[in-house]
């Protein structure tokens, strides 16, 4: 039964949608944001704070039965900042959950897989700390798992593959739009990616709360729809009425495509958004930037 839920990273790209989705499902939502943010809804409590403040987190989690941990630092931040946010922040969330008898829905990142050793990647794919960001995310995931194993903290880990949707400022499609602004010819690596609409990701999170046990397991989230970077660039250019050549580099072929079989054993719902029909509403034409 829905009760009180504390959502960290509530002002983020996924956090805003998820808070509204949880509130519509009957949850009493406490939305924790690092900076002042306009209200997310008439019945959503806005809290100003920082996951690096453990005492504050324990107080905010008082009376909650669930913490949804969404906080993520930008990938370009310095390693110490990444550790402070992802490792120390996650540790504080876990301690707050133990102190208040909360379940924890912890958010991972597909960046923890690094280069694909096989495709599609299931949850048993080796984790590779190829960047400080990925290493910090791996550490946070392992820390959360250790609290399940050591203290029997009810834990569920969801690992979304790249998201897209209206209002996105960071991510694959905004990055690609930036590349398309360059006047020189465009050469992209031969990479294939799965893209999940942010509204579908929020629905997956909400569905997971009612269907997946909190037994320390990790589940990939994706759409099942994947594209090469060159195909995405061509789609964007076509939407903007531009005709520019897009070539592929000689880099090794890589894929960021999830195996979704573990998730499908618990959730029969499937994503409702497809990329191509949504594309026109996502980004402004490069000629207007």
Q: What is the pLDDT of residue 152?
A: 98
Q: What is the pLDDT of residue 283?
A: 57
Q: What is the pLDDT of residue 287?
A: 37
More confident residue, 235 or 196: 196
Mean pLDDT for the chain overall:
92
Percent of the chain topping pLDDT 90: 76
More confident residue, 33 or 233: 33
Residue boundaries of the structural domains of the chain:
4-163+196-221, 165-194+225-257+273-288
* Average pLDDT for 220-247: 88
* Average pLDDT for 250-277: 92
Q: What is the pLDDT of residue 211?
A: 96
* Average pLDDT for 96-124: 97
Where does the pLDDT of residue 77 fall: very low under 50, low under 70, confident under 90, or very high at 90 and above?
very high
Q: What is the pLDDT of residue 253?
A: 79
* Average pLDDT for 264-286: 81
Which CATH number describes the domain made up of 4-163+196-221?
A: 3.40.50.720
CATH architecture observed for domain 165-194+225-257+273-288:
Alpha-Beta Complex (3.90)
For the stretch 156-204, pLDDT in tens is 999 999 999 988 888 888 888 888 877 677 788 888 999 999 999 999 9
CA 128/CA 130 separation, integer angstroms: 6
Handedness of CA 93, 98, 102, 103 (dihedral sign): positive
Q: Report residue 221 as tokens.
A: 């989230």
Q: Report residue 38 as tokens.
A: 């306009």
Length of the chain: 289
Residue reference for tokens 């960001």: 133
Residue reference for tokens 């392992």: 142
Strands 191-194 and 155-160: unpaired
Answer yes or no: is pLDDT of 81 > 90: yes
Answer yes or no: is pLDDT of 219 > 90: yes
Answer yes or no: is pLDDT of 288 > 80: no
* Average pLDDT for 203-231: 96
First to last CA, the chain: 47
* Within this chain, domains 4-163+196-221 and 165-194+225-257+273-288 share the same CATH topology: no
* Average pLDDT for 83-110: 98
* Average pLDDT for 104-129: 96
Taking CA atoms, 173 is separated from 46, 188, 207, in Å, by: 29, 13, 26
CA 172/CA 194 separation, integer angstroms: 11
pTM of the model: 0.94
More confident residue, 244 or 105: 105
Where does the pLDDT of residue 276 fall: very low under 50, low under 70, confident under 90, or very high at 90 and above?
confident
More confident residue, 140 or 288: 140
């Amino acid at each position: 039964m829905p009760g009180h839920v504390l959502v960290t990273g509530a002002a983020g790209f996924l956090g805003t949608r998820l808070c509204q989705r949880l509130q519509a499902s009957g949850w009493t939502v406490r939305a924790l944001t690092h900076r002042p943010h306009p209200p997310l809804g008439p019945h959503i409590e806005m809290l100003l704070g920082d996951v690096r403040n453990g005492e504050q987190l324990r107080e905010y989690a008082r009376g909650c039965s669930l913490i949804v941990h969404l906080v993520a630092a930008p990938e370009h931040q310095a390693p110490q900042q990444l550790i402070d946010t992802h490792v120390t922040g996650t540790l504080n969330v876990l301690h707050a959950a133990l102190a208040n008898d909360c379940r924890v829905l912890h958010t991972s990142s597909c960046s923890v897989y690094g280069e694909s050793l096989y495709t599609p990647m299931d949850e048993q794919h080796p984790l590779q700390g190829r960047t400080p960001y990925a290493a910090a995310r791996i550490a946070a995931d392992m820390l959360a798992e250790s609290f399940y194993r050591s203290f029997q903290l009810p834990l569920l880990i969801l690992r979304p593959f790249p998201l897209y949707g209206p209002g996105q400022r960071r991510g694959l499609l905004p990055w690609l739009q930036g590349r398309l602004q360059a006047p020189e010819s465009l050469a992209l690596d031969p990479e294939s990616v799965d893209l999940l609409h942010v509204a579908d990701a929020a629905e997956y999170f909400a569905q997971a709360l009612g269907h997946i046990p909190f037994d320390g397991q990790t589940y990939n989230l994706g759409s099942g729809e994947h594209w090469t970077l060159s195909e995405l660039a061509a789609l964007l250019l076509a939407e903007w009425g531009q005709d520019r050549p897009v070539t592929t580099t000689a880099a090794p072929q890589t894929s960021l495509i999830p195996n979704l079989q573990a998730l499908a054993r618990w959730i029969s719902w499937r994503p409702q958004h497809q990329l191509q029909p949504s594309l026109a509403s996502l980004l402004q034409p490069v000629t207007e930037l």
